[in-house]
Structure 1
């Protein structure tokens, strides 16, 4: 046990540094995304002034509003919502980001629900690591993970920005949150219901999480299936990768709440694509080529290393807690 504690302590400083770097890159993506949408030729034949409901993706949602809604309006609204959630994650729910990193620096341990952003950056890197492992494994068997063709880069960026909010509310808050509430709620009121949807673990008396875990896995598989069966689907390789991501996001929602799940999903979408589109526009290359740019490659390496360290710390912390409980018995 002492040896594992030493490992935890030795990993504390690099882990804190990696999480801090990811935090900094996430923060930088906010102005970067605005720049890409409003100051580049991302949309080619359309720009941020283009009517939202004239896009093919939104043509069926014309709400006959008394005012025009443009791509720029929709993007700024989404951007603002994510900025608010990100700010909340820095300072809550109990301690600030830097304050929570202090015990991680000294001992490699953190209070898991002390700060949203520590959990977000940690689980974001784990999700990237798991996704990479799944993708590489499938490629070894000749199964490719190819995205649907993008008719317009600006429309694509808007859609990937919208997806975390829509999918986390749909797949996590509704498909996991409501059944979990039905399973574990000890009372009913509107306030208690919505608080439980916001953070199930903090508000429900979860005496046995096995049923919830089964539900998380099933919804994760459904999440993977949705990526290859609806709309303009991905190739079949996306099923396993999205299912694994869906299970991680489901666990994150159940354990830490809707905010971390949304922001981690935002990280895999808006955060990464804002850098890709920025590199694409600055260097006048395609988005596909941008993902092979040294900057994006360096970011991926950081994410993967952070994922390995985060996963190692999680495993060591888990076994340490098991040994400690056995010693107490």
Structure 2
């Protein structure tokens, strides 16, 4: 136990530093995204006053181009406030605050990543980025490229990117994982308990974890397929990356709950696009070119380093946990 404590303390210094920086970057992205939407010309010939019902998502419905007095800016603010509220919940809970949970890692070589959402969010976000980068690296070696879907307008794209985490997490995590998990493992008929389990599936008595893992893998594959299945989707090279992300998000949902999976998805979308959009506007370059900016490269390096340390922490904890169990036997 003393060896594991010292090793975790040693790894904990850069680990906690990286997670803290990542948390700070998350926080900065909130005002940055608002600035991009409301104070720049990212939309070109349209701005945040563009009618909400004129968006393509309403094509074929009675709402399309109706006289409802709601703008894209209004809808963006509602989304922004929702994510901010969830972000605050992640900082404070479910049991203790973010900084309070980090300090024991350095002091005692111990931490409970389930006592605070933000620990799990920053850790698994960086792991997701690392795995995505590895998949992309391998695929490029075989000549497989990941080509994003076409975007007619950057402002509209930013809105869609911000909306996607909420919509996709509701469908792929709550509907396709949460409800089946409750059906498989719940022994109560209470509506309140049902909602609580959808919010935090770990409340369930999951005695046969194999079924849960299979469900997560299956939904992860569906998640990957959904990113390439339509005419205006990503190229086929996105499948493996999206499927891996879907599996990670499913596991995070099972272990930490909806708050964590939602904010990790938010980070891959809104968080990244807010920085890219900001850089594109202050440097007067396209969104595509902004992804090649040195700051984005630096952020990616930070994410990868955080992912490496996060995996190291996971492996060390697993190794000494198994060793301790063996000694007890």
Q: What TM-score do the two structures reach when normalised by structure 1?
A: 0.97
SS in 2 for 1:57: helix
CA 1:45–1:108: 2 relative to 1, 3 Å: farther
Contact kept? 1:13, 1:106, Cα under 8 Å = no
CA 1:272–1:81: 2 relative to 1, 3 Å: same
Q: CA deviation at 1:188?
A: 1.2
SS in 2 for 1:230: coil
Find the counterpart in structure 1 of residue 111 from structure 2: 110
Post-superposition Cα deviations, 1:51-72, rounded to whole Å, max 9, x if no partner, equal: 0111223334554887411100
Find the counterpart in structure 2 of residue 221 from structure 1: 221
Gaps of 5+ in 1: none
CA 1:209–1:185: 2 relative to 1, 3 Å: same
Where do residues 1-329 of structure 1 align in structure 2 (5 Å cutoff)? 2-63=2-63, 67-201=68-202, 203-230=203-230, 232-329=232-329
Residues of 1 paired with 2:69 and 2:60: CA distance?
16
Q: CA deviation at 1:106?
A: 2.2
SS in 1 for 2:56: coil
Post-superposition Cα deviations, 1:233-284, rounded to whole Å, max 9, x if no partner, equal: 1011100000000000000001110010000000000000000000000000
Contact kept? 1:53, 1:61, Cα under 8 Å = no
CA 1:66–1:46: 2 relative to 1, 3 Å: closer
Residues of 1 paired with 2:249 and 2:4: CA distance?
28
Q: CA deviation at 1:103?
A: 1.1
Residues of 2 paired with 1:59 and 1:290: CA distance?
31
Q: CA deviation at 1:2?
A: 4.7
Contact kept? 1:216, 1:247, Cα under 8 Å = yes
Q: What TM-score do the two structures reach when normalised by structure 2?
A: 0.97
Q: Number of paired residues?
A: 328
Residues of 2 paired with 1:49 and 1:114: CA distance?
41
Gaps of 5+ in 2: none
Residues of 2 paired with 1:199 and 1:113: CA distance?
11
Residues of 1 paired with 2:21 and 2:294: CA distance?
17
SS in 1 for 2:261: helix
- Give the RMSD, CA atoms, in angstroms: 1.4
Contact kept? 1:9, 1:107, Cα under 8 Å = yes
Q: CA deviation at 1:328?
A: 1.6
Post-superposition Cα deviations, 1:72-110, rounded to whole Å, max 9, x if no partner, equal: 011001000000000000000000001000112224431
Contact kept? 2:53, 2:68, Cα under 8 Å = no
Residues of 1 paired with 2:241 and 2:115: CA distance?
29
Shifted more, 121-130 versus 3-12: the winner is: 3-12
